[in-house]
Amino acid sequence: MDLQLVVVPVLMLAAIGYTWYFRNKMTAGMPEAFRLFFERTGYRYADIYDQPLEQHIMHGQTLVQNPSGHHVHMLRDYHGLQVHSEQDYSVVREGNKVTISRSASWWAPAQPRIRLQIAERSLTGAFKAVKEALGRSQRHWQQLYPVQVTTGDPELDGRFLFFGVEQNEVLHVLQAPGLKALLLGCVEVDLTVHADRVVFADPTQKNMSAGMGGYVGNLAMGTDMKKRMELTIPVHDRMAELLSIMIGAVS
């Protein structure tokens, strides 16, 4: 008997069996994982905000099990500040090609008197062009304010670009206690003070991925859904604190 005729079906059955096992283990751990996340952060889904906790747990499971992807919009009260978290995940299949895209952002409403934009140097210029040419993704970023500001701080200037309407305003904001440490603690920064809100954009979910241990960490966690969601909590807390400090400084 041709060995290939035996081995190939066995491998296919093994792969199917593992996929079934993995999905079922993940599904089984979802209720406890979502409960932990909601209780620890205070987040609730925006579209059913006033519903009981059990409804949010069920809604979360429905969203993440959608094979074509999902849009998540949650909000929380962070020491009196309404912080929104939005995440998108989509799977597009075209023949044998599967394209997966992810994005995330955190924002809070504000009435700022100062406009400011902070971005990684890697999001602009020649470095960005080379990185995109070598990779398979594009990162769209746009300068919104006319004045580029140098802070005089080697750590900040070496990593970030700062833009505003008036230099002294930008420098004043950057003196806010705790702001520098929070910025440097992020994996990638794209923070903008708009006319009605402050937004931290993370379109490739670099901060969330790093919080979960990156690619290796994700593999190590396997089917432990509770651990996965628990590791996202410090990322959400960092973003909420960063928005809170920024809004206090620009208002």
**Residues 186-213, mean pLDDT to the nearest whole number:** 95
CB 23 within 8 A of CB 223: no
Farthest-apart Cα atoms in the chain, separation: 81
Amino acid at 183: L
What are the tens digits of pLDDT across the range 119-148? 999 998 645 544 444 444 456 899 999 999
The packing angle between helices 225-250 and 3-41, to 10°, is 40
Which residues are paired to 89 by β-bridges? 70, 102
pLDDT for the residue 221: 60
Predicted confidence at residue 225, as pLDDT, reads 86
Mapping DSSP onto H, E and C, the string for 5-59 reads HHHHHHHHHHHHHHHHHHHHHHHHHHHHHHHHHHHHHCCEEHHHCCCCHHHHHHH
Separation of alpha carbons 39 and 47, rounded Å: 18
Residue 15 confidence class, pLDDT cut points 50, 70, 90: very low
- Tell me the average pLDDT across 61-76: 92
Task: Say what the pLDDT of residue 222 is.
Answer: 62
pLDDT reported for residue 224: 83
Give the pLDDT score at 133: 42
Does residue 201 have a pLDDT over 80?
yes
> Do residues 81 and 240 touch, judged by C-beta distance below 8 A?
yes
Average pLDDT for the chain: 86
Residue 29: which pLDDT band, with cuts at 50, 70 and 90? Answer: confident
Handedness of CA 117, 121, 127, 132 (dihedral sign): negative
* pLDDT higher at 221 or 106: 106
The pLDDT tens digits for 175-195 are: 999 999 999 999 999 999 999
5 backbone φψ class: left, alpha, beta (φ>0; ψ -120 to 50): alpha
Model-level pTM? 0.83
Between 35 and 9, residue with greater pLDDT: 35
Q: How far is it, in rounded angstroms, from Cα 104 to Cα 71?
A: 10
**Best-predicted range by mean pLDDT among 74-88, 127-141, 218-232?**
74-88
Residue 61 CA neighbour count, 13 Å, CB half: 19
